Amino acid sequence: MSNPQNGAAALLNAAYATGIRVCFANPGTTELDLVRALDDVPGVRPILGLFEGVCTGAADGYARVSGLPALTLLHLGPGFANGLANLHNARRAHSPIVNIVGDHATWHLPFDAPLTSDIESLARPMCARVIRIDSASTIVQSVRDAVADALAPPGSVVTLIAPSDLMEKTVEDPPEVPPSSAQVRSRQAVPARRVQEAAARLLQSESTVILLGGDSLCERGQRAARRISESTGARLVMESYPPIVALGGDLPPLERLAYFPQDVIEQLKGAVVMLAGARAPVSYFGYTGQPSKLVADCQLVELSSPAEDGVHALETLAGVLPPAAGGSPARRSVSTQGQEASVSNLSPVAVAEELARQMPEDAIVSLEGSTCGGPYLQRAHRAARHRVMTNTGGAIGQGIPCAVGAAVAAPEARVICLQSDGSAQYTLQALWTLAREALDVTVIICANHRYGILQTELRRAGADTSRPALARLTCLDEPRLDWLALAQGYGVPCSRAATPAEFREALRIGLKSSGPYLIEAQLE
Amino acid sequence: MSNPQNGAAALLNAAYATGIRVCFANPGTTELDLVRALDDVPGVRPILGLFEGVCTGAADGYARVSGLPALTLLHLGPGFANGLANLHNARRAHSPIVNIVGDHATWHLPFDAPLTSDIESLARPMCARVIRIDSASTIVQSVRDAVADALAPPGSVVTLIAPSDLMEKTVEDPPEVPPSSAQVRSRQAVPARRVQEAAARLLQSESTVILLGGDSLCERGQRAARRISESTGARLVMESYPPIVALGGDLPPLERLAYFPQDVIEQLKGAVVMLAGARAPVSYFGYTGQPSKLVADCQLVELSSPAEDGVHALETLAGVLPPAAGGSPARRSVSTQGQEASVSNLSPVAVAEELARQMPEDAIVSLEGSTCGGPYLQRAHRAARHRVMTNTGGAIGQGIPCAVGAAVAAPEARVICLQSDGSAQYTLQALWTLAREALDVTVIICANHRYGILQTELRRAGADTSRPALARLTCLDEPRLDWLALAQGYGVPCSRAATPAEFREALRIGLKSSGPYLIEAQLE
């Protein structure tokens, strides 16, 4: 490892030493030394995306599922820009990601060649840190800093700009990197005093909501939360859009925080809200006459911030509370009665019911879009134990790429992508990566042929959605997208389901398939 | 027009008054008042793209073909980010574009809701100006400023951030906007002294190259340049990647500036290089041992900058030079002998030859990728008169969106998209907009199933492209993209051509089709 190598090899060796195992790449001419180094440095698997948003979304899914740092390799400012939307979501998910963005040779940069742009300005909104490598001798340290910053709790996105001439240069004596120096996130413990105060508040309060977010939504966190709930009657509510949450099996059913502000206010009315890894709820959008801050009338107690060790705090809290009185189940308001699935048409509820029924043990669901996602999350507690990733930042086009990354991180698991059709379009190129890498991902396209959320918002605002421009900008028919043809275009086997029976059968086939399978669920 | 209206309607009315006629949109919740206003303000046609890069690329094509300001409507930072790559190209093309980017309500912004991001930082690298509307009363002036700045020669991209609450507010007395206040670019005249000096240099010099760029590549510019060439023997060379260039028919055959630095240096060796609307050539990328500036050994003369009236300068210059001696054609080095098209396989040269042969009069070609683009530009002078748009900034995914915009701007023209397969993937969703708007666009996908330019660069650098990571990251097979299926998925009729005869027939059908048609040209 201390043999002379070029900057690109030194960079990848250093990345490997910090725990990097996969590189989601869409490289160009300025990254060619890094591409060549991928052949020289064993252990970092290159995975090609046909569009940069596929790479960044896959990195996000990989990081959420594995907890390991994820690497992308992207081409200059414009290529990197194509990856920003999914990095926005990754930032909100606190996913540890390092983007290597190639740049022109340092000496070529002043000449403003066609592909020159201000990469730092593009990166800053989505990144906790942007590092520009400025000499061959600092490459290794820059990589270590980037990965360390990405992994610092609660996790973040870091961009490392790699000028092409420095990647080409010989690094005479690259620092020794012990092969086992992979860094692990260690979260700061919650002070004991805060746990004691939380216990006191729980015992005093008539009505408490424990709002679980981030890492507190893992199994251990939820089991501790259930003991607290059983002891005190506190309701367990999960944040609206968790990065990854364990659900089903013997885990406690969780309410989900509502979307619209008045619903959240109603949901939390009169309660003490205890934050466990979640942020204090704010409205998703600003609506005239509605507040931004949705807990203005609640008492707020912070047990743990997203950066702290919320799981340990919940366990400690559970330990100091009196044991539950036998037979008193936690109060909860999860709706368990679904509408009966219609025999002829396929409704979002029917899709959600069937998916909950067939959910394989330890599956991972990448969920995007509210059409089927909302109904599914109401029923997920009745499924076998699994994990669900949601869209944390609202930038659409996350679902299929995130499923790619999850499947790479957990090859033993069945990955399911429950995906609205409108948002699927933003990064549909991810279907190709599923096929090429033969990933066991079942993609369910919930095809209602419209931007459903926009039509909902317009109707709430009293608009007539049949007016020409409104219809034109929110309907996705004329022509209808043919998802079967699109899947075939990318080499993904597929079928269409227009009734609950057809969907049941298609799902059965999809969940057994080796490699990807796509189901177009034709919603009525 | 002076009736009370909301901010969104005031914005669109002001945009209409400045010459805006089309809005390429992918809106979200924060843009809904603007979407509603599109129904209230007649004359601005909304066109939906399924991905933001489609909207910005279409705006670019529209602006290049029409010279009118183009409008996009995009959703917050992440949606806007998806449009940046094609805005990078638009910036390099000097296309007048105004992006309306919705943002959270001003009072909601401080709460850092999920979709909040630093839109200004994202916009700055691609935009000459970023304006944040800060009150309802300044909306109209902000629009005027944005369009005026976008149209200021040589043309640029401007972003207007529109907070949702200000779009909703009543604008009590919007300033009168005369319906005919559409602004027209007026370029500054080149000083007479510079034209005289240029004339003197041309008459002295043994060998002159007139490097034509930007607006000088319109018909008038080229006709004037030909007179200069006939009078002085100067060679006419066009910049490598012009925004839009007239070619064929009775226009002079133009050399094209080469791509690799040593080829450019060879091409310009010993010549006085006169810049007419073109920038002084720099290397596309920095290669060790090669210079960035490719005219270091040449004498440079600037006739006109990209912002100046180069056409008028060329005409004045032609007027002051002595008339051509009869029968002395301009020296030129255009290669007119193509390889003979193979009978069985379809080569890029065969595609280029056939396209030149069948080119309809006044067609517009959106060209992306060098596989067929290079051979085509060598033969374009033999075709009927047409115009060609090239990829000005190197951000790939421009071709099909730009064709969308061209077809909207020139509904009477046949638009042809000559498109490499790798780059087509970045914005293939544009196929849907072609189908929905029934645009007469013939898309030719040059399917060689690889990132050809990367393999070329790697071979030049001595790499073995059969090594696993190199092959994995530069080959697009395993599985091969099925462009017929993809076209069908978007409702675009299509066929595949694997021989010159099949391509000839497919092109004949494609060029006659009403609405879009896609040909997958299976290159050997």
Which residue of chain B has the CA closest to A428?
B429
| Beta bridge pairs of residue B504 | none
Judged against a pLDDT cut of 60, whether residue A407 lies above it is answered with yes
> Is B85 exposed, middle or buried, given 0-12, 13-18 or 19+ CB atoms closer than 10 A?
buried
A463 with B88: Cβ contact below 8 A:
no
pLDDT cut 70: percent of chain B above it: 94
Band of the pLDDT at A327, cuts 50, 70, 90? low
Cα separation of the two ends of chain B: 60
The token pair that represents B123 in the structure block: 């916009």
For A325-355, the DSSP string reads PTT-PPP------PPPPPSSS--HHHHHHHH
B485 with A483: Cβ contact below 8 A:
no
Q: How far is B209 from chain A (nearest CA, A)?
A: 21
Q: How far is B90 from chain A (nearest CA, A)?
A: 11
**Minimum-distance CB partner of A285 among B104, B241, B394:** B104
What are the pLDDT digits (tens) for B405-447? 999 999 999 999 999 999 999 999 999 999 999 999 999 999 9
Instruction: Enumerate residues 6+ apart whose C-beta is below 8 A from B180.
Output: none
> Is B175 exposed, middle or buried, given 0-12, 13-18 or 19+ CB atoms closer than 10 A?
middle
Q: How far is A208 from chain B (nearest CA, A)?
A: 24
> Using a CB-CB distance cutoff of 8 angstroms, which residues of chain A are in contact with residue B24?
none
Q: What is the ipTM of this complex?
A: 0.95
DSSP code for B514: S
DSSP helix, strand, coil percent of chain B (3-state; round to 5): 40, 20, 40
**Minimum-distance CB partner of A485 among B117, B397, B488:** B488
Number of helices and strands (H, E) in chain B?
21, 20
B288 with A105: Cβ contact below 8 A:
yes
**Minimum-distance CB partner of B468 among A39, A88, A469:** A39
Instruction: Enumerate residues 6+ apart whose C-beta is below 8 A from B91.
Output: B126, B127, B128, B156, B157, B393
| Residue A479, preceding peptide bond in cis (omega within 30° of 0) | yes
User: In 3D, which of A509, A385, A366 has the Cα closest to residue A445?
Assistant: A366
Do the Cβ atoms of A139 and A160 come closer than 8 Å? no
B479 with A117: Cβ contact below 8 A:
no
> Using a CB-CB distance cutoff of 8 angstroms, which residues of chain B are in contact with residue A122?
81, 84, 121-122, 125
| pLDDT number for residue B6 | 96
Judged against a pLDDT cut of 60, whether residue B197 lies above it is answered with yes
A contact test, residue of B12, B16, B73, B88 with most A CBs within 10 A: B88
What are the pLDDT digits (tens) for A198-228? 999 999 999 999 999 999 999 999 999 999 9
Q: Which residue has the higher pLDDT, A92 or B186?
A: A92
> Using a CB-CB distance cutoff of 8 angstroms, which residues of chain B are in contact with residue A117?
88, 125-126
What are the pLDDT digits (tens) for A25-76? 999 999 999 999 999 998 999 999 999 999 999 999 999 999 999 999 999 9
A122 with B121: Cβ contact below 8 A:
yes
Please work out, in degrees rounded to the nearest 5, the angle formed at the alpha carbon of residue A54 by the alpha carbons of A53 and A55. 90
Q: How far is A168 from chain B (nearest CA, A)?
A: 9
**Minimum-distance CB partner of A457 among B29, B89, B483:** B29
| pLDDT number for residue A184 | 57
φ, ψ dihedrals at B191, nearest 5°:
-60, 140
Do the Cβ atoms of A246 and A222 come closer than 8 Å? yes
Q: What is the dihedral of CA B246, B251, B252, B257, to 10 degrees?
A: 10
Q: Which of A333-337, B362-366, B439-443 has the lowest mean pLDDT?
A: A333-337
Computed over every residue of chain B, the mean pLDDT equals 94
Q: Which residue has the higher pLDDT, B266 or B344?
A: B266
| pLDDT number for residue A335 | 45
Tell me how crowded residue A120 is: count the other CB atoms within 10 A of its CB: 17
Q: How far is A75 from chain B (nearest CA, A)?
A: 9
| pLDDT number for residue B334 | 43
Q: For helices B370-379 and B348-358, what crossing angle results, to 10°?
A: 50
A286 with B105: Cβ contact below 8 A:
yes
User: In 3D, which of A315, A303, A242 has the Cα closest to residue A93?
Assistant: A242
| Beta bridge pairs of residue A247 | A386
| pLDDT number for residue B321 | 96
| pLDDT number for residue B178 | 57
A105 with B286: Cβ contact below 8 A:
yes
What are the pLDDT digits (tens) for A226-278? 999 999 999 999 999 999 999 999 999 999 999 999 999 999 999 999 999 99
| pLDDT number for residue A44 | 97
DSSP helix/strand/coil, A57? helix
Average pLDDT over residues B129-149: 97
**Minimum-distance CB partner of B30 among A38, A112, A285:** A285
| pLDDT number for residue A330 | 45
What are the pLDDT digits (tens) for B222-281? 999 999 999 999 999 999 999 999 999 999 999 999 999 999 999 999 999 999 999 999
pLDDT cut 70: percent of chain A above it: 94
Cα separation of the two ends of chain A: 60
A85 with B81: Cβ contact below 8 A:
yes
Average pLDDT over residues B118-137: 98
Q: How far is B277 from chain A (nearest CA, A)?
A: 16
A292 with B111: Cβ contact below 8 A:
yes
Which residue of chain A has the CA closest to B490?
A481
B contact test, residue of A12, A22, A29, A101 with most B CBs within 10 A: A29
What are the pLDDT digits (tens) for B468-521? 999 999 999 899 999 999 999 999 999 999 999 999 999 999 999 999 999 999
B contact test, residue of A56, A108, A400, A458 with most B CBs within 10 A: A108
Helices (DSSP H) in A83-191: which residue ranges?
Answer: 84-93, 119-123, 139-151, 164-168
Band of the pLDDT at A297, cuts 50, 70, 90? confident
| Rounded CA separation B207/B273 (Å) | 9
Band of the pLDDT at B524, cuts 50, 70, 90? confident
Q: How far is B101 from chain A (nearest CA, A)?
A: 14
A425 with B426: Cβ contact below 8 A:
no
| Beta bridge pairs of residue B7 | none
B425 with A168: Cβ contact below 8 A:
no
Q: How far is B478 from chain A (nearest CA, A)?
A: 6
**Minimum-distance CB partner of B121 among A39, A125, A458:** A125
Give the DSSP H or E segment for A288.
none
> Using a CB-CB distance cutoff of 8 angstroms, which residues of chain B are in contact with residue A425?
50-51, 429, 432
**Minimum-distance CB partner of B485 among A28, A89, A485:** A485
Do the Cβ atoms of A34 and A71 come closer than 8 Å? no
Taking one residue from A and the other from B, the number of pairs with CB-CB distance under 8 angstroms is 294
> Using a CB-CB distance cutoff of 8 angstroms, which residues of chain A are in contact with residue B394?
78, 114-115
**Minimum-distance CB partner of A78 among B85, B110, B115:** B85
DSSP code for B238: E
| pLDDT number for residue B1 | 44
A contact test, residue of B56, B76, B84 with most A CBs within 10 A: B84
Do the Cβ atoms of B455 and A32 come closer than 8 Å? no
> Using a CB-CB distance cutoff of 8 angstroms, which residues of chain A are in contact with residue B285?
29-30, 104-105, 108, 113, 115, 164
> Using a CB-CB distance cutoff of 8 angstroms, which residues of chain B are in contact with residue A38?
469-470, 473
The token pair that represents B443 in the structure block: 């898309």
Instruction: Enumerate residues 6+ apart whose C-beta is below 8 A from A204.
Output: none
| pLDDT number for residue A176 | 65
| pLDDT number for residue B344 | 79
Average pLDDT over residues A155-168: 98
| pLDDT number for residue B327 | 52
Strands in B157-163's sheet, in edge-to-edge order, are B45-48, B22-26, B70-75, B97-103, B157-163, B129-132
Do the Cβ atoms of B503 and B521 come closer than 8 Å? yes
Band of the pLDDT at B336, cuts 50, 70, 90? very low
| pLDDT number for residue A458 | 94
A contact test, residue of B285, B420, B459 with most A CBs within 10 A: B285
| Beta bridge pairs of residue B166 | none
| pLDDT number for residue A332 | 43
Pairing of strands A5-6, A170-171: antiparallel
Which residue of chain A has the CA closest to B428?
A429
Between the alpha carbon of residue B196 and those of residues B46, B200, B301, B302, B316, the distances in Å are 48, 6, 12, 12, 9
Average pLDDT over residues B461-473: 94
> Using a CB-CB distance cutoff of 8 angstroms, which residues of chain B are in contact with residue A168?
288
> Is B502 exposed, middle or buried, given 0-12, 13-18 or 19+ CB atoms closer than 10 A?
middle
Which residue of chain A has the CA closest to B113?
A284
| Rounded CA separation B225/B176 (Å) | 44
B454 with A479: Cβ contact below 8 A:
no
Average pLDDT over residues B327-332: 47
Q: How far is A491 from chain B (nearest CA, A)?
A: 6
